């Protein structure tokens, strides 16, 4: 038996002796699920139709709503016999250690493989079976269609090709088909002679970060290490607890952590709303490490972000769900384990449905001047203790209400696309383009992430599951994809000043740890570029003309955009806008409104647009009398004029 470093492949005409190793190595997946394995590397003995071809044999691939289209949920053989096979070409010598199998994803069919054999080859002509002692090994497959089942080989085998050969399957009388989804585990052998240079893909990152999956304790430890490395620009705080008592930790990055600075916008990233969509969690942990390192190194881009922005990173909104998925591992968690909260709540549908409140008001109110278009109040039934609202959702809502966020993004997984509000259709149609008044800016936000993401922007990439988002330039209105009532994005837009999009980061919800460095490389620029968009548009302070004090809750209205925002406690505000000229009006209770023209340029900084509002005489009088003060002469004169005007009107009516 040869060692791994000195193995020889012995050819005898068409025969190949495939070397075996007794010990199973901890090898990563080849990448059927992550699309690292290309469609051309997959072959099959037969298939029923294009939509059930070998390219659909990827672990966790999701079918379209209608069976029979080109996006079905597995490879399915045309024939029903023991000679059917699915073949994977690793394209270079690989030490194969195991296979993971799933049944067919379908809402109409129940097809799965119960047992199977495995064969190996170096030329796809001569095949050697996987053995169990002196007999050909038969591996256990699936008992349901969704649970991934791992089979580790008794002896790892070095080869280029591997075949999965179903032996028994769910018959369902005569209706059952041979269908499966799979992942193959294997370690690529070293290539010291550079025989396969064209196949060498980058697997590392130039950044020295902690690339691995972090459970709750490890996440907390890493955040503490970042804070200790950069205590002057970081702060760790908790916004609440999960159902099981795990804290929802946030890392703040700012040159003055713990304090809102006048004129400085607040930004947030939220990850892990679905606990099994883990890439966002790791990217945010990488991001806080990276920003700390680069700030200390003097990288001017990062220094500027830290000094001009207050950044909040919530890496795990659903830590209970994550812990469930983490215990199973990246390939065995399946498509849904850990998605929901401990109570079984999907937090992506758990925010107050303010869309329905808004559209109902529009239908019932005849006087459009009485309609509101922002800061919609939360319905009373939603805030009651009996409401089916996750403790994690309540904590995030309180966080959104307490910090004046301007821009945010919600990081998900399982697709490659950026979605923007609204996420819900007006008439509950299954899907329909449903734009906000800020459609053009939301499209810009989504594009800023998608166009700088190395995978999304690749014109040659294949679709993840059942929709080709390349046709939409990798961005889509949420409601035009599928409806999500009670989404975080819509709630944020309708209840606060904050604009928010959803970023679907990868086809694979739970990438293997070996893929994390390249996923960071794919997303690093996008994460930074998107944060920088918080500085687009206009910003300013609304002040009292006499006292120069900031005015809170002043309404900022932009002509021709039917969505207002408000100033915060110190009177400062931020209004995200695309380049152009805008008529902007600031108004506040007890003040005369003020309008001015604000020009937004293409530079990466906002246009200053301050307002000084004059108090109405009635408001000034009320404040002076409340303090027991004397009326100033200008106010006395103004009141005298108002009385005279009133008397003249009364006299005219009598006459």
Q: Are 407 and 576 in contact (CB under 8 A)?
A: yes
Work out the burial of residue 348: count CB atoms within 10 Å of its CB; fewer than 13 is exposed, 13-18 middle, 19 or more buried. Answer: buried
Q: Are 162 and 93 in contact (CB under 8 A)?
A: no
Residue 267 region, left (φ>0) first, then alpha (ψ -120 to 50), else beta? beta
Q: Are 609 and 532 in contact (CB under 8 A)?
A: no
Of the candidates 538, 577, 559, 563, the one whose C-alpha atom is nearest the C-alpha of residue 376 is 563
Gap between the Cα atoms of 298 and 127, Å rounded: 58
Which residues, at least 6 apart from 183, have a Cβ–Cβ distance to it below 8 Å? 29, 30, 32, 33, 58, 59, 99, 100, 148, 331
Residue 154, phi then psi, degrees to nearest 5: -60, -35
Q: What's the helix, strand, coil split of the chain in %, to 5? A: 30, 25, 45
Of the candidates 220, 213, 247, 238, the one whose C-alpha atom is nearest the C-alpha of residue 320 is 247
Alpha-carbon Rg for the chain, nearest whole angstrom, is 30
Residues linked to residue 21 through DSSP beta bridges, in sequence order: 156
Do you know the residue count of the chain? 655
Q: How far is CA 88 from CA 113, 118, 464, in A?
A: 18, 11, 18
Residue 525, phi then psi, degrees to nearest 5: -65, -40
Work out the burial of residue 359: count CB atoms within 10 Å of its CB; fewer than 13 is exposed, 13-18 middle, 19 or more buried. Answer: middle
Does the annotation count 504 as an active-site position?
yes
Residue 514, phi then psi, degrees to nearest 5: -65, -20
Neighbours of 243 (CB within 10 A): 16
Q: Are 97 and 27 in contact (CB under 8 A)?
A: yes
Catalytic residue among 183, 323, 504, 532: 504
- Cα four-point dihedral sign 212, 216, 218, 220: positive
Residues of 73-85 as b/e, b for ≥16 C-beta within 10 angstroms?
bbbbbeeeeeebb
CA angle centred on 121, ends 177 and 95, rounded to 5° = 100
DSSP state of 615: B
Gap between the Cα atoms of 160 and 538, Å rounded: 58
Q: Are 431 and 419 in contact (CB under 8 A)?
A: no
Gap between the Cα atoms of 334 and 149, Å rounded: 10
Active site residues: 504
């Amino acid at each position: 038996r040869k060692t791994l470093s000195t193995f020889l492949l012995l050819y005898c005409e068409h025969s190949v002796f495939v070397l075996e190793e007794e010990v199973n190595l901890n090898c990563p997946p080849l990448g059927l699920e992550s699309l690292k394995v290309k469609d051309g590397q997959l072959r099959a003995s037969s298939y029923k139709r294009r939509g059930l071809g070998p390219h659909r044999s990827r672990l966790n691939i999701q079918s379209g709503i209608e069976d029979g289209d080109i996006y079905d949920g597995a490879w399915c053989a045309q024939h029903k016999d023991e000679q059917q096979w699915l073949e994977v070409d690793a394209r270079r010598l690989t030490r194969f250690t195991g296979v993971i199998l799933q049944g067919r994803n379908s809402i109409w069919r129940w097809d799965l493989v119960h047992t199977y054999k495995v064969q190996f080859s170096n030329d796809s002509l001569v095949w050697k079976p996987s053995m169990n002692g002196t007999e050909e090994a038969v591996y256990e497959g699936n008992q349901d269609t969704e649970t991934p089942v791992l089979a580790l080989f008794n002896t790892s085998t070095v080869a280029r090709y591997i075949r999965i050969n179903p032996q028994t399957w769910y018959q369902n009388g005569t209706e059952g088909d041979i269908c499966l989804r799979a992942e193959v585990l294997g370690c690529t052998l070293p290539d010291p002679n550079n025989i396969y240079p064209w196949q060498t893909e980058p697997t590392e990152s130039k950044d020295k970060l902690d690339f691995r999956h972090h459970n709750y304790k490890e996440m907390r430890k890493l955040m503490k290490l970042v804070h200790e490395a950069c205590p002057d620009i970081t702060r760790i705080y908790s916004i609440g607890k999960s159902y099981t008592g795990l804290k929802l930790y946030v890392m703040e990055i700012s040159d003055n952590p713990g304090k809102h600075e006048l004129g400085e916008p607040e930004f947030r990233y939220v990850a892990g709303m679905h606990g099994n969509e883990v890439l966002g969690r790791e990217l945010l942990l990488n991001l806080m490490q990276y920003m700390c390192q680069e700030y200390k190194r003097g990288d001017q881009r990062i220094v500027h972000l830290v000094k001009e922005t207050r950044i909040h990173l919530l890496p795990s909104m659903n830590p209970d769900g994550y812990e469930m998925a983490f215990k199973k591992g990246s390939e065995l968690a399946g498509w849904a384990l850990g998605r929901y909260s401990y109570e079984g709540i999907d937090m992506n549908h758990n925010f107050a449905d303010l869309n329905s409140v808004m559209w109902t008001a529009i239908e019932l109110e005849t006087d459009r001047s009485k309609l509101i278009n922002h800061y919609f109040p939360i319905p009373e039934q939603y805030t009651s203790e009996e409401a089916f609202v996750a403790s994690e959702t309540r904590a995030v809502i309180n966080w959104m209400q307490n910090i004046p966020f301007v821009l945010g993004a919600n990081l998900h997984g399982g697709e490659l696309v950026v979605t923007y509000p609204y996420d819900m259709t007006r008439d509950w149609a299954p899907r329909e383009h449903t734009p906000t008044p800020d459609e053009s800016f939301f499209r810009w936000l989504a594009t800023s992430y998608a166009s700088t993401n190395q995978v999304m922007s690749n014109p040659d990439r294949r679709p993840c599951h059942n929709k080709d988002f390349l046709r939409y330039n990798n961005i889509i209105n949420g409601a035009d994809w599928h409806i999500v009532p009670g989404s975080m994005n819509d709630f944020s837009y309708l209840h606060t000043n904050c604009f928010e999009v959803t970023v679907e980061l990868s086809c694979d919800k739970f990438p293997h740890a070996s893929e994390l460095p390249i996923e960071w490389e794919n997303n690093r620029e996008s994460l930074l570029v998107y944060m920088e968009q918080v500085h687009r548009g206009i910003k300013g302070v609304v002040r009292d003309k006499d006292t120069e004090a900031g005015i809170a809750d002043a309404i900022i209205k932009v002509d021709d955009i039917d969505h207002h925002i408000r100033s915060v406690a110190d009177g400062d505000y931020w209004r995200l806008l695309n380049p152009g000229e805008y008529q902007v009006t600031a108004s506040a209770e007890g003040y005369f409104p003020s309008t001015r023209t604000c020009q937004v340029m293409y530079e990466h900084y906002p246009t200053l647009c301050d307002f000084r509002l004059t108090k109405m005489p009635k408001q000034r009088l009320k404040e002076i009398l409340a303090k027991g003060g004397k009326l100033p002469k200008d106010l006395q004169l103004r009141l005298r004029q108002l009385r005279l005007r009133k008397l003249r009107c009364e006299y005219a009516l009598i006459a």
